[in-house]
Amino acid sequence: MNGKERMYAALEGKKIDSCPVGAPYLMLSNADHWEELTGLPVYKYFEWAATPDLKWHGEIYKIFYETLQFDIVQPSHGVSNSYRNNVEVVLKNGVSFLHNKKDDTYDSLPGNIHNSGSGGGENETRYVYTKQDARDRIKPLKAENTVSAGYNAYLDEILKLYGDTRFVVSGGVVNTFYSNVYHVGMTEFYAMLINEPELIKYMSGYLLEQNIESIRAMAMSGGDAIFIDDATATSDMVSPKMYEEFSLPYLIPQVEEIQRHGMKAILVYFGGISDRAEMIASIGADILMMECSMKGYTNDYSEISKKIGKNICLAGNLNPYGDVEITTDANLESRIKNMADAGKKHGRYFTSTGSPLTPNTTVERMRKYIDISHKITI
d(CA 220, CA 232): 29
Predicted local distance difference test score (pLDDT) of residue 115:
64
- E strand intervals along the chain: 72-73, 87-92, 95-100, 105-108, 167-174, 225-229, 264-269, 287-290, 313-315, 349-350
What 3-state class would DSSP assign to 313?
strand
Eight-state DSSP code of residue 232: T
d(CA 5, CA 119): 33
Predicted local distance difference test score (pLDDT) of residue 123:
74
Q: Which residues pair with 297 in a beta bridge?
A: 294
CA atoms within 13 A on the CB side of 151: 19
Predicted local distance difference test score (pLDDT) of residue 111:
82
Radius of gyration of the chain (CA): 21
Q: Give me the domains of the chain, ranges plus CATH numbers.
A: 3-374 (3.20.20.210)
Eight-state DSSP code of residue 9: H
Buried b (16+ CB within 10 A) or exposed e, 272-307: bbbebbebbbebebbbbbbbbbbeebebebeebbeb
Predicted local distance difference test score (pLDDT) of residue 377:
82
Predicted local distance difference test score (pLDDT) of residue 117:
55
Predicted local distance difference test score (pLDDT) of residue 376:
87
- CA-based angle 319:324:329, to the nearest 5? 140
- Enumerate residues 6+ apart whose C-beta is below 8 A from 298: 272, 274
Q: Is the alpha carbon torsion for 61, 62, 68, 71 positive or negative? A: positive
| Of the candidates 214, 199, 38, the residue with the CA atom closest to the CA atom of residue 126 | 199
User: Greatest CA separation found in the chain?
Assistant: 60
106 φ/ψ angles, rounded to the nearest 5 degrees: -125, 125
Please give the chain's pLDDT, 378 residues, in tens: 999 999 999 999 998 989 999 999 999 999 999 999 999 999 999 999 999 999 999 999 999 999 999 999 999 999 999 999 999 999 998 899 999 999 999 999 988 887 665 555 567 899 999 999 999 999 999 999 999 999 999 999 999 999 999 999 999 999 999 999 999 999 999 999 999 999 999 999 999 999 999 999 999 999 999 999 999 999 999 999 999 999 999 999 999 999 999 999 999 999 999 999 999 999 999 999 999 999 899 999 999 999 999 899 999 999 999 999 999 999 999 999 999 999 989 999 999 999 999 999 999 999 999 999 999 887
Q: Is the alpha carbon torsion for 301, 303, 306, 307 positive or negative? A: negative
Strand 95-100 and strand 87-92: the pairing is antiparallel
d(CA 71, CA 8): 11
d(CA 171, CA 219): 10
Sheet holding 87-92, edge to edge: 87-92, 95-100, 105-108
d(CA 186, CA 179): 10
- Enumerate residues 6+ apart whose C-beta is below 8 A from 361: 29, 320, 324, 325
d(CA 56, CA 152): 16
H, E, C per residue of 124-163: CCCCCCCHHHHHHHCCCCCHHHHHHCCCCHHHHHHHHHHC
Alpha carbon 327 to chain centroid, angstroms: 25
